[in-house]
Chains A and B, each alone.
Chain A
Amino acid sequence: MAKTIVTSALVLSLFVVSATPTKLSEGYHEDLAIRPLTDGKVITAFTFTTLLGGASPRDPRDSETSAQHYTFFPLTLGQILREYAVTELHLSLNAGKWNYDGWGYPDHPSVGTGAELWAWMADGGPLSVDERWIGLRNALAGLFCASIGSLDDRRTSSPASAFPLSSIPVHHDSIPYALRYATLPSEHVCTENLTPFLKLLPCKSRAGLARLLDPQHVFDADWHGLGVHVRSTEPGVELRLTVQAVLDPVRRSGGRRRDWSFLSLFNRRIDVPCPVANSSTVHLVVPAVRGYALSPEPVSSNDTVSVYSPTSHVPLDVAMSWPEEFTFNYPLPPPAPQTPLSIKRTLYGSSQTRGVLSVSLSNNGHVPITVGYLETLPALVTLWMHTLKVVVEGTPRVDLMSDIIYHPPLLLANGHHGPSTLQATLTIPPKRTLGLTLDLGKTFLRYTEHPPDAMRGWDLPPAVLFPVPVPIRSQGGRSIPERMYTPTLLLDLPTPDFSMPYNVIILSCTLITLIFGSIFNLLTRKWMVVKLED
């Protein structure tokens, strides 16, 4: 069966006809970046880029019944983008906590735990942005088998400065664009999400780099995430499908070796190149400390990166080993944080009605860092802004916080509360830790609003740190290069005894009957004096 598939791939690929001027020219590129870390972990980042040349997102004011012809671009996704006139779309489904200190910046910045969806849509047309947003998240939920459909207005906000429009606006007659952003931290990415994801690739997981994506091994990783990113660029609409995984060969080898190969990491090799890919590369970022051996020889290499080409070299099984190392020892002391900023975020307080949110940002560098800070919390918690404290080394430093924007939870038309957002610009002095604390109140939910596993608690979405323009007065200061996500939090809300309604029915019925019966008997009984016979 495998052989026939391979040949069918080859034959089919040869029929790809060169594009005529009337057709959209499409290109497909795939890339795998591998980065071994000093603690033995291996970060892998797959990027599958499809460019729909000359295409532009649908103007929402046009009718949508025009023909769509795609070669590489997935029709199922193209239909959704066309139907809801989406200009820019970012969906990520991640599991695990990205360890910035140990792993550095990720290749694809959307690493917040759980599901995150944000879309920029042009306004106007018969359907409002919110109606299209509802349709979009339901369609994506169906396409990726994820609970994105539950990203309703209780979780939707519009923080435009943290998630700016990166597409080129195509409609030059100044239609306003609107952002919709929602997160679902409790969503768990699983095989059922990866299968439809792989179907969007022209070669599925049957050829090319996607051959490596064996669900059993990808989901065994310490951290793994899927991403779908659509934006419109100058040449056309660009779709980037990304898979990131942080794998641990030391754990797989029982703590002895850090050697790895495609076979040991993914249980597969790249045995067939994807014939329709315009380019296909494997980038291996080699460690600065020598002493490793690579096989096979890379196509090209320099001091930091070795490049392999799965099109010219199949089957490809890149392997890296440390032949002189008998057993692997974790580096001691642990290596210095790889990002200039270290983040901690906790929620403390023992009561079920109040709590304290605490965020501490440590600047590991020698220059002040200015970042935007965005907290989007569902109406499960109420932030008490008057308790906001910014502390550096025990002294209050309110001057380090500026541009505070706070939106309290808004009561929506359907009786729900929208999320509350807190956005601010923070400046962290060099080699210092900035602490930010804020009291919060926990909501008492209605009986029906609790999830089936109410005792587990509620996940609070991660806070986002985003780059901002550095003010001139901060000497030599800088910002962060890309968005960073804090860990999620687990919120313990007062949970009722769920057998309560039945107890109440039984108890109150008994009471009412008792009172009714005694009064009724008092009123209707015939009373008489009974003479006792001696």
Chain B
Amino acid sequence: MDANPSHGLKEPQRLPFESPKIRRLVLGAYWTIIILALPFWWRLTSIERIALPSDRVSAQLDRKLVFPLDVQLDAPSFENSSPHLARELNKVLVQTLRASPTWRNLDIRVGMGETAGARNRVGDRHADQSPVSNAYTVVFGDHTAVKHPRQLVVTPENASVQRLASILSELLAPEISSIQEQRVIQYSNRYRLAFTLLNENAASDHLENHLFPILSQLNILHNATVESQVQYHAPLAFEPTEFADGNTSFHGVTPEDLTVFINSAEWSLSSSVSNDPVLHFVLFVPSSSRQPLCILDAHGSRTNQTAFLLPQWGGIFILNRGAQDVMTHLTAADLVPVFSAFANQLIALLGVPSLPRNVSSDVASPLSDWQLDALLRRRTSENILNSQQTLDSIVKLVDQIESMPVDQKVKGDVHDALSALEEAYRSAVESPAVPLRWSSEALSLASHAFFNPGMLAMLYFPAEHKYAVYTPLFASISVPLIVALGREIYAWRRERRAARNG
């Protein structure tokens, strides 16, 4: 391998910078820089994913809100009854509640209180100070009724364990059938009540008489904004069928037609200005050629019903005026049945439970404390369940989609929702109104976190696009790097083998 001077050039192997050592150092330097740069590259191109408190969220799922209820039987009234009445009643009630899917979270305690009657007799002032609490009393009276504050009057016939238990469970834990449940609009702390059609003149008085008492009682749950309009051209989207009934004829709306009764393309009912859910109440006056317009039952025969309810949307009242009566205006008396129907529909849409059939109401206001409390407890449990599920969905979603960014805002909302839930559990001991407020806040925070627009950002720029941009550069650079590395390793191994053999 001596230099061959014949061509007059220097042998490259002899040059100091051409030694294998230098060459390997150069190669090593390249690879060192690449390896050192890798963490930086990783850091710069990765998306921000703050860890969510998934343990706390999953722990939340098992938590249940417990409402303690304290039912006191008035001792003087019940002194003639069985001494174990309270204990037996407690047992029956606990069994009933345990069987119910919605009311398992009630912790009911029935006691015999000396002071129960007396406390309420003298303590009206006291009861007014705390508008919602967990103590209920049962006293004897001449008819079965609910009274303010949180008092149930029962006749001696109804005082047996079975009958009292059924009345109490219906009052404290009213079962809502699945059909009724579907009607109830989703909870929101603000609603807009939109009254449409011929409600203009007397509307304000009627709102005051029929709806405002209900709304003012429900203002712990919801705030309502009222608006009304008149639509002069509100054609139906379908043609009602005409029937002859003897010498009179009428137009009928079948139950299938009722589902498409609202002609949302032609009736401008919706409001765009706020996100509050709207409850519509529509008073529909059919054209004179279609009067009377009747609602038919499933078998196609005429019914006396004039109003119907669209679940979670609102109510409709069909006002037939008779052709000879056409020239009259709508009087206040005409609107009485309309607005009492609207009031009933509002109650159904908001999910207010009705009183048991054999219990009457001695309360001046339209809703009794028992109904309000049951509604509050129901809405609170719903909200808490919904927020738990929403939080769980966020955690699951973030786990599933790896390229979904999670920023500080989402994390903050999740934390706030969790602490609002904690507050709800903590305050459930005192009264049902405070936990409702917390649960509603938890639900809105959880939804806010779930719909955070920042979480969608990266979904539109998936990793595949990134590779498409990188490949023209990285693929062509990496080829010489890897080939050089392989060649050096091969050369180095051959040298070692040669050294061992030689």
Within 8 A of A (CB), among B217-237: 223, 225-230, 232-235
B23, B202, B230, B287: the one contacting A524 at CB < 8 Å is B23
Bits for A459-470, please: 1 = Cβ < 8 Å to B, else 0: 000000000000
Residue with the highest number of chain A CB atoms closer than 10 Å, among B9, B12, B233: B233
| Residues of chain A contacted by B364 (CB below 8 angstroms) | none
Q: Are the CB atoms of B9 and A15 closer together than 8 Å?
A: no
Q: Give the residues from 16 to 31 in chain A that come closer than 8 angstroms, CB to CB, to chain B.
A: 16-20, 22-23
Q: Enumerate chain A residues within 8 angstroms of B299, measured Cβ to Cβ.
A: none
**Taking the nearest CB of chain B, how far is it from the CB of A488, in angstroms?**
30
State which of B227, B330, B488 has its C-beta within 8 Å of the C-beta of A75: B227
B100 within 8 A of partner (CB): no
Taking CB as reference atom, which chain A residue is nearest B227? A68
Complex CA–CA separation, A141 to B194 (angstroms): 22
Q: Which of A5-13, A54-62, A105-113, A246-254 is the contact stretch?
A: A5-13
Chain A residues within an 8 Å CB radius of B270: 76
Contact present for A517 and B204 (CB under 8 Å): no
Judged by a CB distance under 8 angstroms, whether B333 is at the interface is: no
Asked if residues B201 and A20 are in contact (CB atoms below 8 Å), the reply is: yes
Asked if B142 lies at the interface with its beta carbon under 8 angstroms from chain A, I say no
A326 contacts the other chain (CB 8 A) = no
In the complex, are the beta carbons of B200 and A142 less than 8 A apart? no
Contact, CB under 8 Å: A524 / B18: no
A501: nearest chain-B partner, CB-CB: B469
Flag whether A490 is at the interface (Cβ < 8 A): no
Pick from B228, B287, B289, B488 the residue with the most CB of A within 10 Å.
Answer: B287
Residue interface bits B279-306, CB-to-A below 8 A is 1, else 0: 0000001111110000000000000000
Q: Which of A7, A71, A505 is the one whose CB lies under 8 Å from B200?
A: A71
Q: Is the CB of A14 within 8 A of B327?
A: yes
Contact status B268-A69, CB under 8 Å: no
Complex contact B204–A22 (CB within 8 A):
yes
How far is it, in angstroms, between the C-alpha of A387 and the C-alpha of B488 when the chains are bound? 71
A463 to chain B, nearest CB (A): 34
Closest residue of B by beta carbon distance from A83: B273
Find out whether the CB atom of B4 lies under 8 angstroms from the CB atom of A139.
Answer: no
B45 surroundings in chain A (CB, below 8 A): none
- Hey, what's the 0/1 contact readout for B254-291 against A, CB within 8 Å counting as 1? 00000000000010101111100000000001111110
Interface residues of B in 175-215 (CB under 8 A from A): 194, 198, 200-204, 207
Instruction: Give the CA-CA distance A153 to B330 in the complex, in Å.
Output: 49
Q: Shortest Cβ distance from B337 into chain A, in angstroms?
A: 16
Q: B61 on the interface (CB 8 Å rule)? A: no
Complex: A70 Cα to B198 Cα, angstroms:
11
Count of A-B residue pairs with CB < 8 Å: 173
A1:B273 contact, CB within 8 angstroms: no
Contact partner of A17 (CB less than 8 A), chosen from B27, B288, B330, is B330
Given contacts A4-B289, A7-B289, A15-B198, whether A509 and B234 have CB atoms under 8 Å apart is no
Count residues of B near A (Cβ-Cβ below 8 Å): 60
With contacts A14-B327, A67-B226, A70-B229 taken as known, whether A509 is within 8 angstroms of B473 at the C-beta atoms is yes
Which residues of A lie under 8 Å from residue B121 when comparing CB positions?
none
Complex Cα distance A143/B23, Å? 73
Given A83-B274, A529-B12, A5 and B233 contact (CB-CB distance below 8 Å): yes
User: CB distance B11 to A529 under 8 Å?
Assistant: yes
Question: Are the CB atoms of A67 and B225 closer together than 8 Å?
Answer: yes
Q: Using Cβ atoms and an 8 Å threshold, which residues of chain A touch B476?
A: 509-510, 513, 517
Chain A residues near B13: list those with CB within 8 A.
Answer: 528
* Interface pair B288/A524, CB less than 8 Å apart: no
Bound complex: CA of A74 vs CA of B272, how far in Å?
Answer: 13
Contact assessment for A79 and B12 in the assembled complex, using a CB-CB cutoff below 8 Å: no
Scan residues 474-531 of chain A and give those whose CB is less than 8 A from a CB of chain B: 505-506, 509-510, 512-513, 516-517, 520-521, 523-524, 526-529, 531
Q: Is the CB of A520 within 8 A of B472?
A: no
Q: A302 at interface (Cβ–Cβ under 8 A)?
A: no
- List the A side residues contacting B330 at CB < 8 Å: 15, 17
Given contacts A67-B225, A510-B472, A523-B26, contact A10 B203 (CB under 8 A): no
Residues of A within 8 Å of B27, CB to CB, are 524
- Residue in A68, A505, A520 whose CB lies within 8 Å of B480: A520
In this assembly, does B326 line the interface, its C-beta being within 8 Å of a C-beta of chain A? Answer: yes
Measured between alpha carbons, how far is A23 from B199 in the docked complex, in Å? 12
Q: Which residue of A lies closest to B11 (CB)?
A: A529
Within 8 Å by CB of B272, from A3, A70, A76, A276, lies A76
Given A14-B326, A83-B274, A523-B23, verify A517-B480 contact (CB < 8 Å).
yes
Interface residue? A417 (CB, 8 A): no
List, in ascending order, chain B residues with CB within 8 A of A528's CB.
11-13
Residues 104-135 (chain A) with a chain B CB within 8 angstroms: none
Q: Does A416 contact B (CB under 8 A)?
A: no
Q: B35 to chain A: which residues have CB within 8 Å?
A: none
**Residue in B200, B271, B469, B488 whose Cβ sees the most chain A Cβ within 10 Å:** B200
Chain B CB within 8 A of A419 CB: no
Cβ–Cβ < 8 Å partners of B288 in chain A = 7, 10-11
Given contacts A70-B227, A80-B273, 11 further A-B contacts (CB under 8 A): A8-B286, A11-B326, A15-B198, A17-B200, A17-B330, A65-B223, A67-B228, A75-B229, A509-B476, A521-B480, A524-B484
Pairs A-B, 9 closest by C-beta atoms? A8-B287, A75-B229, A17-B201, A527-B12, A513-B476, A509-B472, A67-B226, A509-B473, A68-B227
6 contacts between A and B (CB under 8 A): A4-B287, A5-B287, A7-B289, A75-B268, A512-B473, A521-B480
Q: Which residues on A are within 8 Å of B, measured CB to CB?
A: 1, 3-5, 7-20, 22-23, 65-72, 74-76, 79-80, 83, 139, 142-143, 199-200, 202-204, 206-207, 275-276, 505-506, 509-510, 512-513, 516-517, 520-521, 523-524, 526-529, 531
